[in-house]
Amino acid sequence: MRTELTSEERAVYEWQLWVDDFGEKGQLALRNASVLVSRCGGLGGPVAYELAAAGVGKLILAHEGNVEYSDLNRQLLMTQDWVGKPRIESAKRRLQELNPRLEVEAHNVNVNEENAAELVGAADLIIDCAPMFEERFAMNRQAVLQRKPIIECAMYDLEASITTIIPGQTPCLACVVPSVPPAWERQFPVIGAVSGAVGCMAVMEAVKVLAGFGKPLLGRMIHFDLRSASFSEFQIERDSDCAVCGSL
Amino acid sequence: MLCKIHLVYTGQLRSAVGMSEDALEFAQPVRLSEALTAAAEKRGAAARRILLNEDGKIQRALVLMVGGAQVPRGSDPVLENGAQLTIMTPISGG
Ligand SMILES: [Zn+2]
């Protein structure tokens, strides 16, 4: 564990070291943290990029498959010259161009029931950016079992939602969404700036939780609709019968 | 006394019905399940498929908010005149 910033880190992070309640202590907390981001597409790409910029020490990325043209409206870590090649390689290259101090553990695989325990176990915090509810449920289950904070963010069309889960303290994903929604489809409309907007909010939740300041979205969900530029905040409740966290 | 319920549709439900805001009027305060059934009838098959299951019960995967608070799973509260019901279809990343 690092106890001091290098002179290069002080120079790079100078402007955020001025942030009240964050400072050098917060920066060191980020430097010593590992964050799992699954996946690193339209939502996870901006998440990973902002985490890299903020100075998180290690990113664990899980994202299977090759770059496609239809990724490029929102998956900011992918480049057109990389179409047909692994997304995870493009993501790692772009992140380390921005932050060469960053350690990236890149997995060309999506989170599933078999690998979730190990991937979650290697991280201090998880940001759930996955499209498939099966992946989201697998990460949520492991986050609860291992008592790791997990930030749930999602987007659709011009809408997005976000909440921060501390197992045993707040509702978990399964408290709010107990089963795969029948209306959900793998491909859906979205403009990249919408996923970028909620991705940036997710990173601020991660920064606050890791550095221990501010007021994270605990037991609260923000939903916004950029079609009307309207934001709503809702109180969300733990389900005492939740199959995942009900016994905590 | 007239009971007017304001509805907010989000996610796939908004796409299915083509609007984000709606209103329902009843002769008296109604239960949440009655409001959802009335919305399904008003907005047709696409809305019904999202709001209700084959037994006509509330779809389990919906996230329902009355005012600024989530409706506890399994409860069917009475909605008073002026209540705002936000119906969220869970969304994800990608
Ligand atoms: Zn739960």
CA A40/CA A49 separation, integer angstroms? 9
Alpha helices in B6-84 (DSSP H): 11-17, 32-43, 45-51
Nearest chain A residue to B66 by CA distance is A234
Is the pLDDT reported for residue B68 higher than 80? yes
Whether B7 is covered by a domain: the verdict is yes
| The pLDDT of residue A206 | 98
Using alpha carbons, list the distances in angstroms from residue A100 to A43, A96, A97, A108, A207: 22, 5, 6, 21, 20
Mean pLDDT in each 10-residue stretch from start to end of chain A (248 residues)? 96 98 98 97 98 98 97 97 97 98 98 98 98 97 98 97 98 95 87 97 98 98 97 96 96
| The pLDDT of residue A77 | 97
Verify whether the Cβ–Cβ distance B93 to A188 is below 8 Å: no
- Count of the separate structural domains present in chain B: 1
Whether A24 is covered by a domain: the verdict is no
Q: How many A from CA of A167 to the centre of ligand 1?
A: 8
What's the CATH code of the domain at A120?
3.40.50.720
Whether A18 is covered by a domain: the verdict is no
- Count of the separate structural domains present in chain A: 1
Verify whether the Cβ–Cβ distance B61 to A235 is below 8 Å: no
Whether B19 is covered by a domain: the verdict is yes
Is the pLDDT reported for residue B78 higher than 90? yes
Whether A174 is covered by a domain: the verdict is yes
Q: Residues A145, A121: contact at Cβ < 8 Å?
A: no
Q: How close B36 gets to chain A, by Cα (Å)?
A: 16
What's the CATH code of the domain at B32?
3.10.20.30
| The pLDDT of residue A7 | 98
Pairing of strands B69-70, B63-66: antiparallel
From the centroid of its chain, how far is CA A213?
Answer: 18
| The pLDDT of residue B94 | 86
| The pLDDT of residue A182 | 82
Whether A107 is covered by a domain: the verdict is yes
**Domain limits for position B47:** 3-88
What's the ipTM?
Answer: 0.95
Q: How close A99 gets to chain B, by Cα (Å)?
A: 24
Paired residues of A220 in beta bridges: A235
Verify whether the Cβ–Cβ distance A157 to B11 is below 8 Å: yes
Whether B93 is covered by a domain: the verdict is no
Whether A46 is covered by a domain: the verdict is yes
Alpha helices in A125-191 (DSSP H): 133-145, 173-176
The pair of structure tokens assigned to A143 is 């986050």
Pairing of strands A58-62, B63-66: unpaired
Set of chain A residues whose Cβ sits within 8 Å of the Cβ of B40: none
**Domain limits for position A51:** 33-235
Is the pLDDT reported for residue B1 higher than 80? no
Half-sphere exposure of B12 (CA within 13 A, CB side): 22
Q: How many A from CA of A85 to the centre of ligand 1?
A: 38
Q: What percent of chain B has pLDDT over 70?
A: 100
